[in-house]
Amino acid sequence: MGSWATIYIGDYSIDTEKNTLNSYYLSIFQESDLQITKFDTSKTEEFSKHFIIEEIEEDELSSLEIVKLVCPISIVRDRLNLLGFTKTVSELCFQAGLKIATHSKQEDIKLNSQYTLHANSEFILNRLSNEYEVLKSLTLESWTNALPIVMELKRQSRSNYQHNYEEHSALVNYMFDDMFFGLPLGDYGDYRHLLRLIIDAFSESDELIYDLTDLVFGGWLDIEYLFDNSDEYISPIHDVSHRIIVITEGSTDAIILERSLKLLFPHLANYFRFLDFKGTNIAGGASALAHTVKAFAGVGIVNRIIALFDNDTGAEDALRTLKGINLPLNILVLRYPEIELAKNYPTIGPTGIAQMDVNGLAGSIELYLGDDVLRKSDGSLIPVQWKGYVQSLQKYQGEIISKTDVQNTFWDKIKKCEDDPSLINNYDWSGIKDILNQMFTAFHKIDEDNILRAISETVQSRFD
């Protein structure tokens, strides 16, 4: 008979896989999403919707474990976006796939019209013509509007509901009969594009559920090794691992960002790896980071890499050494983003204290640790002091005074929130979140360009 892995949103089945799991779906989940519970014998009726109870021995049923990966839609959306399956990219796939599907259906009609003597030729031709008319008028909006209706019909059909085609539109019937709800993704399509478009029809509190119970019960899957090869679940469009390596100017920056990521966005933390300065003995500083970028570019590392420079004069000076170098698309060089707090910040110079915009001049990681960290006991901000003058740029390099004290205040803040996450909202994380959000969206433009290129090549090969 075989065993099945089924992915649901709530009680709505999206897709199934026989005797194996879909590695692309698995890439959306993490070990923390795994839920293993004992089978509740009082819920046999609910369980029988998905499994044939009669085929399970009574002693097996009493010891049966329900194995699921469960993740809220809001987190699924964040992870899909990070993996490159943004709404924009998935909509591009829809539009291009629709063009190809419509053209292919038209070709099928021409081909089948030549075989009018076949017993079923008229039936086949009518079906193809009806499908062509649906595709010809299909839009993303009409597909999205029909989706809840179709999903409800599919849910009812699992309870012996007889679908009455005459009661529904041609579009609803077409989507009902298609395995993937009539979604035209084309040859470059990916199951995750389907999910990205579907999840917008659900609320943030709904859950994506990957039910692996039948696979485990049937002996097709050993949960112990479920995530062992998760790094290999890559997109054929992107051709890179979904683990993103982040390189900073120093070990303190890396530790601050890594701990902040785990605290504030734990559902995305597993998709990033920060360079280990201590374990690799790599030198710190902007100049050293620029050299590291060149080295990584020259050895053909396939992982996506983000080189994060400070938002200061030293970084600008070091970045000049990278000008004219054609970095591979999987390596991005970024500076910490400009922040509102730094636009009118106290500074100490030869003429005394002055308020000024220190973005691009003194934006080390300390300036992003939060208003609550940067204020002294009297409520004033810890100032930036102007240090060396970079002649080539005709700019001073600024650095916050009492840097160690600022860092220690932050370590105390993050430790309190790690011990009690309910305290997170009591503190200011806006600067850190600006950096992390920059990391999350860093490759979005490249992803869009990649899919547009794949679409262009596919369409050209089909229509030439």
pLDDT in the model for residue 277: 75
**Distance from chain centroid for Cα 348:** 43
Locate the domains of the chain by residue range: 4-82+206-229, 87-189, 244-446
- pLDDT (0 to 100) of residue 238: 43
CB atoms closer than 10 angstroms to residue 339: 18
Write out residues in the chain with pLDDT < 50, as ranges: 52-54, 232-241
3-state class (DSSP) for residue 410:
helix
Q: Are 79 and 185 in contact (CB under 8 A)?
A: no
pTM of the model: 0.85
**Residue 240's pLDDT is what?**
44
Which residue matches tokens 């017993």? 119
**What is the predicted pLDDT for the residue at 361?**
94
Query: Can you give the pLDDT at residue 233?
Result: 47
Q: List pLDDT tens digits, range 146-159.
A: 988 988 888 777 65
Q: How many CB atoms lie within 10 A of CB 252?
A: 17
Measured CA to CA in angstroms, residue 453 lies from 15, 22, 210, 358 at distances of 28, 26, 32, 40
- The beta strands (E) that lie in 195-335 are given as 207-211, 244-247, 272-274, 304-309, 311-312, 331-335
Specify the DSSP class assigned to residue 5.
E
Q: On the CB side of 162, how many CA atoms lie within 13 Å of its CA?
A: 2
Q: Which residues fall within 8 angstroms of residue 393, CB to CB, at 6 or more apart?
A: 313, 316, 317
**The predicted structure's pLDDT at residue 317:** 93
Sorted by sequence, the CB contacts under 8 Å of residue 81 that are 6+ apart come out as: 440, 441, 444
Report the chain's terminal Cα–Cα distance, integer Å: 44
| β-strand pairing of 4-9 with 207-211 | antiparallel
